[in-house]
Structure 1
């Protein structure tokens, strides 16, 4: 796919793909209100921390979330393998999504049956500069109304 947040694609470039995606949905999209975002953020953070994940930053917005965390233990070489990182990240993010969905439905804030899309996009952090950029990107979502949980920033909600 062409484009990213720094250099977005031209307007309408993916309109057909977007329309197809909307038609394939089995239920209306879930849009989280502020109370639901707070509850989902807390549930996800607690779920990840409960499993020993090194959580740095987490944001939960109206329709999506972002996480910066270490999911795999370091190897003798000082870093996890990409294979282990992706497998464990996918598993624990699935657990966090399940916990938050259950918490939200138990609180009556969403219908049972899921809140989050299937899977997600896990990207390993390449270096320290990338880590700092990702952390700032996640925290900046607060400006868009996201609820942010952070071990570093005092601005967590």
Structure 2
């Protein structure tokens, strides 16, 4: 019989990703005017958000049968995270590009060249999951709030 992992040992890769985000946010020098965000920065952030989106999807599916209330909250978080991901994708296309002035989704024209998985391909793949599990009214519904019960 194995005992559950201690809190400081549980999910080390997720904890490392969180630490990386915190470190990145701390290293932004607030004493100088901020540099405008670039496409590469948003591409990496979008990759992080879509990975988190997949994780929330899996956790919601696993939690829903035994704990329907928790599953519903995780599904709501999944929906809200998709909204944030969609906004990052839209912002990516509003940034200037070295090769085109168009804001349409044309991965082959990205200044970095077409990587193996472009932001647009990644976004379309995540959007497929959203369309399978979320209705348009869910995407437009304001977030719900509940009291924290411990």
TM-score (norm 2): 0.29
Q: Which has the higher contact order (CA 8 A, sep 6+)?
A: 1
TM-score, normalised with respect to structure 1: 0.28
Q: Which has the higher helix share?
A: 2
Normalized per residue, the structure richer in strand is: 1
